[in-house]
Structure 1
């Protein structure tokens, strides 16, 4: 199915208001799928777009086709010293920084940050004006084994009480969603559990109305 049709189906069943879209072609250095994303924008659902953006022109391109927020990912950025310059050129609400992990270890494209902790990077990006975070352990994505980042998200909340935090990866049940809410998350990325029916609209209704 076309991505826009999938998005419409998710909206019909789950009253989807925000969708996270990863353009894997763009992230891996191939031609971005901008026409496809523009079609998804026309559904009226707000899109958080990760297209491997590391430069002003790439951020602008995603915003121009209608992305609500553009992801700056730790795994994609090869020079984090440029982050502050990027942040100053855009409204803080339009940028969201992704703390990428694998089995709890920080994934970074910048060699200077190899071996550093997720909290070190969190402090760094907050000091440079980032106000929204995605915290995602890629090893958990699609596993249905529970979200492994909740403690880290709580630690981040202690560092910066007002930062907006989204996490995900491994969501498998309504109990998992409840745990994320109790941990103080502002949002939770869910994919496989919606597609295979482990989570229903009734499971999510209370959180969608919060």
Structure 2
């Protein structure tokens, strides 16, 4: 099981995400870092374990408040790879990210108006698709959810209503997506509370999990993280 720490960025700072209500997100307060600065929080997380990758959600770009800039992430790239969701919806912008060393762009379904970008770039080995859900509602064109042939090799199942809610992953949805995904790696996002959730996810064939709250709260200890990461099955 591969654990990927999450950094949700808003107004240049790491924020505490909860249930997808982005307007209410505030700068994070965590025992792992003295500030909400990206590098400080990342350093605190890497003190728990030398994670090889972070998931970064540029919330301002996703909400179309501004275009994302890769420059702000360069210091972090010297430490780890970045799975970057920056509201990509333009092919040219996505191709720049795909060509950037250390950046693994995440194409969020909620940011798409059609399947054109996914149709043209789904075969890229660096592209990651995020299937975004709010409750039972799929966010984005239904064709993306229905047509597995345009899914790339890595697929995130993002359940926004469970993010930061300590409610547990959506095991039923994850099981179904894993069944449909075939050989693809499926990554869980939202609701992960502790090592028991991760072990259950691993048992149903989930390859990795995006985690934030359980790391900052101490629910996942360095010993537990190390034990789980030894069984990782995602390669870069």
Question: Fold match, TM over 0.5?
Answer: yes
Return the match for 1:84 from 113, 119, 139: 119
Going by fraction, where is helix more abundant, 1 or 2? 1
1:19-168 counterparts in 2 under 5 A?
19-29=54-64, 30-43=66-79, 45-87=80-122, 91=124, 93-108=125-140, 110=141, 113=142, 121-124=144-147, 126-128=148-150, 130-148=152-170, 150-168=171-189
Going by fraction, where is strand more abundant, 1 or 2? 2
Partners of 1:38 and 1:65 within 8 A in 2? no
TM-score norm. by structure 1 comes to: 0.84
The offset of 1:182, in angstroms, is 1.0
Q: Helix, strand or coil: the match of 1:94?
A: coil
**Structure 1: distance between partners of 2:217 and 2:183:** 34
TM-score norm. by structure 2 comes to: 0.76
**Aligned Cα root-mean-square deviation (Å):** 1.9
Q: Please tell me whether residue 208 in structure 1 is matched to residue 229 in structure 2.
A: yes
Structure 2 vs 1, CA of residues 7 and 194 (structure 1 numbering), >3 Å: closer, same or farther? same
Larger RCO of the pair (alpha carbons < 8 Å, separation 6+): 2
5+ unaligned residues in a row in structure 1: which ranges?
A: 114-119
Structure 2 vs 1, CA of residues 129 and 151 (structure 1 numbering), >3 Å: closer, same or farther? closer
The offset of 1:206, in angstroms, is 1.7
Q: Helix, strand or coil: the match of 1:162?
A: coil
Q: Deviations over 1:131-190 (max 9, x none)?
A: 210001100000111111x22222222223201100121111111111111121110010
Q: Deviations over 1:106-125 (max 9, x none)?
A: 111x4xx3xxxxxx64441x
- Number of equivalent positions: 195
5+ unaligned residues in a row in structure 2: which ranges?
A: 1-34, 232-236
